[in-house]
């Protein structure tokens, strides 16, 4: 992972084989004073596990795509759950036939590159359990 800082944002470049969530946790834990952030990104993935949240069952339906994918778009945020960094990321991906899939990003292994633009926020964000949805939502 390479990091390039500007006065109001950070560009993280992830390399082939790096795991998205693991890299972002390392970044968040090593960035003292980071209370929350917004993330956008693009690049290529070797594989990804995506989810769709079933409101009725209050659980995710997961699907793993074990093939090269273009990362058309990543968007998400950093908040905290019980004092620990929590990245909530959604993505849209395309395959070699230009078909797209999308959903909540559980796991993603970088293929070619992962270019992540992170904007720190000055508002501390934390998540707490929500009985109605069964999710930990920003409160």
Q: How far, in Å, CA of 7 to CA of 14, rounded? A: 21
Global pTM value: 0.93
Selected from 3.30.1490.20, 3.30.1330.80, 3.40.50.1000, 3.30.413.10, the CATH number assigned to the domain covering 2-138 reads 3.30.1330.80
**Per-residue model confidence (pLDDT) at position 19:** 98
Residues 65-91 pLDDT 10s: 999 999 999 999 999 999 999 999 999
**Per-residue model confidence (pLDDT) at position 33:** 81
**Per-residue model confidence (pLDDT) at position 12:** 97
Where do the DSSP E strands lie in the chain?
A: 2-5, 10-15, 37-54, 59-65, 69-81, 84-94, 100-120, 127-129, 136-138
**101 backbone dihedrals φ, ψ, rounded to 5°:** -135, 160
* Domain extents in the chain: 2-138
Low-confidence stretches of the chain (pLDDT < 70) are none
**31 backbone dihedrals φ, ψ, rounded to 5°:** -105, 85
Task: Give the containing element (helix H, strand E) for 21.
Answer: helix 20-30
């Amino acid at each position: 992972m390479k990091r390039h800082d500007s006065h109001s944002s950070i560009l993280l470049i992830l390399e082939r084989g790096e795991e998205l969530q693991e890299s972002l946790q390392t970044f968040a834990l090593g960035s003292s004073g980071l209370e929350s952030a917004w993330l956008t990104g693009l690049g290529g993935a070797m594989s990804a596990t995506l989810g769709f949240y079933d409101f009725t069952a209050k659980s995710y339906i997961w699907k793993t795509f074990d093939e090269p994918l273009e990362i058309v778009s990543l968007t998400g945020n950093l908040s905290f759950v019980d004092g620990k960094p929590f990245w909530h990321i959604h993505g849209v991906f395309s395959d070699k036939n230009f078909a797209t899939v999308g959903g909540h990003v559980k796991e993603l292994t970088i293929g070619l590159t992962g270019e992540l633009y992170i904007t720190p926020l000055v508002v501390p964000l934390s998540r707490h359990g929500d009985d109605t949805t069964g999710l930990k939502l920003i409160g």
